[in-house]
């Protein structure tokens, strides 16, 4: 009780000492999708879920002695840096601004639908499964009449952000309409109240919005699940191709797909981020570039979300996310939190994993295993894969429920392995 009271006092102190900066103005648009109208200035009042400061426009940070200053060249409309385990929001900029999410909304899709089907289940794709995808959608290359495992489909969702894979999985989940309803209900359970779901794949649609705060909640919840951690941290994999017949023989090849998360896979002007292990990126005309990432360094796990940088560099969203992660690792323990990532509505203090929750988490209970310590390929058979850059190794989440003893941390059933 004393610790909780102390934390509340710290948050109250934070409310008296906000650092407020102006919000950036314009949007970035470079892919095909419907054009929607959204003001370039954040609302004067936004949601206060997680703390009163998080509802104020501009940058909120309370720097203590020895804390590094925030990066000066951030152009994103909205961003947030949070401790994944304690839930402390270290700093934020318009975190509750309701903006189009692009494919980062696929984190909510995965967190909602992934537990419903075993990874080994097979599905033959019907033409109706691929109906209704938006023009210019990102695709992994699913073909009508071919059979894929659920594992294949999730690799398509996470690595290539394939809207075709999303629609096939939605069809398996009784259709797009039902899936949207399920996602909306799950968002509300997570207290992600800025989010309005219209399409399961994040494609621009009238009224579809989320926020940096909500996307961070989706990532934190998704990372509770073993399979989610595997898929979001897989760098490259083999994906089934088309079935062909030649000289009476039927064969089916495969092709390589690579994760489009540039902090995970790298690019010509980006080095993979030390300790990165997911989670999801996106880009549409209306949303601009969006990204949520999780990284571990020095025994601390941070989440960062960046939405719609004004700068037109095609990798700017990753560069700003990396600078915010660098700041967060340097500032941890030297700042007063400006808010917190709230627990789901159903979380109860002192609760223990139920059988259903354990199943949803991929069968994990009280023993913890590091996700991985090296980059590996994953084929359709699938093994747990995560990226560890240099000494950074992500060790997360061992149960499928949220415990409330350290201000709702990631489940405190993990035992970190000694790092070399």
Q: Which residues are CB-contacts of 76 (< 8 A; sequence separation ≥ 6)?
A: 24, 93, 306, 307, 308, 309, 310, 317, 320
Q: Could you say which of 75, 78, 86, 103 is catalytic?
A: 103
Task: Supply the DSSP symbol for 63.
Answer: B
As a whole number of Å, the CA-based R_g of the chain is: 21
Confirm whether 311 is a catalytic residue. no
Residue from 106, 225, 226, 280 carrying the catalytic annotation: 106
Q: Is 103 a catalytic residue?
A: yes
Residue 335 pairs in a beta bridge with 63
Catalytic residue list contains 245 = no
Contact of 290 with 386, CB cutoff 8 Å: no
Retrieve residue 153's tokens: 């489909």
Single out the catalytic residue among 75, 78, 138, 161. Answer: 161
Distance (Å, rounded) from C-alpha 221 to C-alpha 183? 13
Q: Which of 242, 240, 30 is nearest to 138 (CA)?
A: 30
For 166-179, b/e burial (b = at least 16 CB within 10 A) is bbbbbbbbebbeeb
For residue 413, the 8-state DSSP code is T
Distance CA 285, CA 37 (A): 11
Pairing between strand 236-246 and 377-378?
parallel
CA dihedral 310, 335, 191, 84 (to 10 degrees): 90
Phi and psi at residue 30, to the nearest 5° = -145, 15
Nearest Cα to Cα of residue 239 among 221, 257, 258, 262: 257
Q: How far is CA 188 from CA 59, 126, 144, 195, in A?
A: 26, 32, 34, 8
Residue numbers annotated as active site? 103, 106, 161
């Amino acid at each position: 009780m004393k610790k909780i009271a102390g934390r509340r006092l710290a948050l109250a102190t934070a409310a008296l000492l906000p650092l407020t900066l102006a919000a950036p103005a314009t949007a970035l648009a470079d892919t095909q999708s419907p054009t929607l109208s959204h003001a370039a200035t954040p609302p004067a009042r936004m949601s206060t879920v997680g703390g009163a400061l998080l509802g104020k426009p501009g940058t909120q940070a309370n720097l203590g002695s020895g804390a590094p200053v925030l990066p000066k060249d951030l152009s994103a409309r909205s961003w947030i840096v949070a401790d994944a385990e304690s839930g402390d929001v270290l700093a934020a900029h318009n975190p509750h601004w309701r903006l189009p999410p692009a494919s980062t909304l696929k984190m909510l899709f995965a967190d909602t639908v992934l537990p419903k089907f075993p990874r080994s289940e097979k599905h033959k794709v019907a033409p109706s499964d691929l109906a209704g995808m938006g023009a210019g959608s990102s695709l992994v290359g699913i073909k009508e009449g071919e059979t894929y495992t659920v594992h294949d489909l999730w690799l398509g969702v996470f690595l290539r952000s394939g809207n075709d894979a999303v629609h096939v999985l939605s069809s398996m989940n009784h259709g797009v309409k039902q899936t949207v309803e399920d996602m909306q209900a799950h968002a509300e359970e997570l207290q992600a109240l800025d989010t309005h779901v219209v399409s399961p794949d994040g494609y621009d649609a009238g009224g579809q919005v989320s926020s940096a705060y909500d996307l961070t909640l989706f990532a934190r919840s998704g990372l509770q699940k073993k399979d989610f951690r595997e898929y979001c941290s897989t760098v490259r994999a083999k994906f089934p191709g088309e079935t062909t017949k030649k000289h009476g023989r039927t064969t089916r090849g495969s092709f390589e797909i690579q994760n489009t998360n540039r902090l995970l896979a790298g690019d010509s002007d980006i080095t993979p981020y030390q300790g990165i292990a997911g989670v999801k990126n996106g880009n549409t005309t209306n949303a601009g570039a969006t990204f949520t990432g999780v990284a571990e360094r020095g025994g601390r796990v941070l989440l960062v979300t960046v939405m719609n940088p004004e700068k037109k560099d095609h990798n700017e969203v990753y560069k700003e996310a990396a600078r915010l992660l660098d700041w967060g690792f340097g500032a941890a323990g030297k700042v007063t939190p400006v808010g917190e990532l709230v627990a789901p509505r159903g979380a109860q203090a002192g609760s223990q994993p139920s059988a259903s929750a354990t199943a949803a988490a991929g069968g994990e209970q009280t023993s913890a295993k590091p996700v991985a310590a090296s980059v590996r390929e994953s084929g359709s058979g699938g093994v747990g894969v995560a990226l560890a850059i240099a000494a950074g190794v992500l060790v997360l989440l061992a149960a499928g429920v949220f415990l409330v003893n350290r201000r709702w941390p990631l489940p405190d059933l993990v035992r970190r392995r000694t790092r070399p």
